[in-house]
Structure 1
Amino acid sequence: MLVIALDTSTPAVTAGLVVLDDGGPRSVAERVAVNPRAHGELLMPHLLAALDEAGRRLADVDAIVVGDGPGPFTGLRVGMVTAAALGQALDVPVHPVCGLDAIAVAAGHDGPLLVATDARRKEVYWAAYDAARTRTGGPAVQRPADVPVDGYAVAAGESAEALGLTAVEPRHPAPAGLVAVAAAELRAGAEPAPLVPRYLRRPDAAEPAPRKPVGGLR
Structure 2
Amino acid sequence: MLLLALDSSATASVALGSYQGGTLTVLAHRATTDTRSHAEVMSPFVEQVLAEAGYRGRDLDALITGTGPGPFTGLRAGIVTARTLAFAWDKPLYGLMSLQALAEAAADTARARGHQKFLVASDARRREVYTAVYELTGTGYTLLDGPTVGSASQAPHLPSYGFGAGLYPQDLESQEGFESLQPDAPSLLAAACRLGVENLSQDTSALYLRESDAKVPLARKKALGS
Tell me whether the two structures share a fold, i.e. TM-score over 0.5: yes
* 1:202 paired residue among 207, 211, 218: 211
Q: Give the distance between the partners of 2:184 and 2:44, measured in 1 at CA.
A: 17
**Alignment match, 2:186:** 176
Identity of aligned residues (%): 36
Cα root mean square deviation, aligned: 1.8
Aligned to 2:68: 69
1:138 lines up with 2:146 in the alignment: yes
SS at match of 1:179: helix
Change in Cα spacing, 1:63 to 1:176, as seen in structure 2 (3 Å) is same
CA distance in 1, matches of 2:161, 2:27: 24
Partner residue, 2:93: 94
Letter in 2 for 1:100: L
Cα 1:22–1:201 shift into 2, 3 Å: same
SS in 2 for 1:159: helix
Q: Please list every run of at least 4 consecutive aligned residues from structure 1 whose deviation after the TM superposition is greater than 6 angstroms.
A: none
Q: Is the 8 A contact 2:15 2:189 kept in 1?
A: no
Does structure 2 conserve the Cα–Cα contact (< 8 Å) formed by 1:24 and 1:180?
no
CA distance in 1: counterparts of 2:79 and 2:56, whole angstroms: 20
Distance 1:147 1:192, change over 3 A: closer
The correspondence of residues 1-218 of structure 1 with structure 2, limited to 5 A, is 1-10=1-10, 12-107=11-106, 108-110=109-111, 111=115, 112-132=117-137, 133-149=141-157, 152=158, 154-161=159-166, 162=168, 163-167=171-175, 168-169=177-178, 171-183=181-193, 184-186=195-197, 189-190=198-199, 192-214=201-223, 217=225
Gaps of 5+ in 1: none
Contact 1:18 1:175 in 2 (8 A): no
Please report how far the alpha carbon of residue 191 of structure 1 lies from its aligned counterpart in structure 2 after TM superposition.
7.2
Distance 1:177 1:37 in 2: 21
3-state SS in 2 of match to 1:89: helix
Q: Is the 8 A contact 1:123 1:143 kept in 2?
A: yes
**Quick check: 2:12–2:184 contact (8 Å CA) kept in 1?**
no
Structure 1 residue 207 displacement after superposition:
2.0
